[in-house]
Amino acid sequence: MTEKKKTCFVIGPIGEPDSKIREWSDTLLEHIIKPAVVACGYDCPLRADDLRNPGMITHDIITHLFTDDLVIADLTNSNPNVYYELAVRHAAKKPVVTIIKQDESLPFDNKDLRTIPVDLPIHIANNAIRQIKEHIVAAEKLGEKAKNPITNSIMINLMQSSSNDQQQQLGNILSTLEGIRYDIDDLKKQTSLQSGIFAPPASKNKETSSPTVQFLSDLMDQHQKEARGRRRSSFLESET
């Protein structure tokens, strides 16, 4: 008896037939996503327009988001439906790999996601296939231990409501740092507007910012690393 292959569901902008978005989505699925997931032992990936069962398509999509072994999320064009579906997958705490067109950047809330840049020129496509396979393997190993914005928020809330004073303090620190991140992002936007920078910078993956804003951003990153270190030490001490 042949072993049942693992399942993969793809979310991303699909667009109308014959549209440029549909052309992008179809090419991406056929020539980048499919070769990567099949090479990792998965069945051919499915997309929302492959679901032929009668009934509510939203129900079918959510079922796949909660039950499939892997989800590949194309965040190109910042489609709100895709981010909603990604949040559902994050809540399911199951493996997900995020990708985005090479010349686009992630919204602030998702900048911590390890997202693979993709495009259709052959050298970029081959590199994307290699990275997707690597991310699939890593995501499978982590399983429910993988971190995402939803699990991070849940962790912070649990720490803040803990009866352990040290856990509460760490939770409050992490919550404060999250607030600082938002403040810095707003400051960056205000600085860009005041400087007359309305278009994205030449390097789409890096934001233009003043030295002061960059200093604050670097300082915040350092505080986050130190907070994570303290949190790990605290957890290790509580287990011993």
Please tell me the predicted confidence (pLDDT) of residue 199: 44
Q: Does pTM top 0.75 for this prediction?
A: no
195-228 per-position pLDDT tens digit = 554 444 444 444 444 454 455 556 556 655 665 5
- Residue 178 pLDDT more than 60? yes
Q: 95: closest CA among 114, 76, 81, 119? A: 114
Per-chain mean pLDDT for the chain = 79
Q: Give yes or no for residue 92 having a pLDDT over 60.
A: yes
Q: Which residue has the higher pLDDT, 69 or 216?
A: 69
Answer yes or no: is pLDDT of 235 > 60: no
Residue extents of the structural domains in the chain: 8-144, 150-239
Least confident of 4-18, 62-76, 99-113, 139-153: 139-153
**Where does the pLDDT of residue 24 fall: very low under 50, low under 70, confident under 90, or very high at 90 and above?**
very high
- The residue that leads in pLDDT, 211 or 173, is 173
The strands making up 115-118's β-sheet, listed across from edge to edge, are 46-47, 8-11, 70-74, 96-101, 115-118
Phi, psi of 71, rounded to the nearest 5 degrees? -125, 130
In this prediction, residue 202 carries a pLDDT of: 45
Cα–Cα distance measured from residue 219 to residue 177, given in angstroms and rounded to the nearest whole number: 10
- Choose among 117, 123, 57, 45: nearest CA to 85: 57
pLDDT band at residue 25 under the 50/70/90 scheme:
very high
More confident residue, 22 or 191: 22
Where does 8-144 sit in CATH, by number?
3.40.50.450
Q: 219-238 as b/e, with b when 16 or more CB fall inside 10 Å?
A: ebeeebeebeeebeebeeee
Q: Tell me the residue ranges of DSSP E strands in the chain.
A: 8-11, 46-47, 70-74, 96-101, 115-118
CA distance 23 to 119: 13
Q: Residue 163's pLDDT is what? A: 84
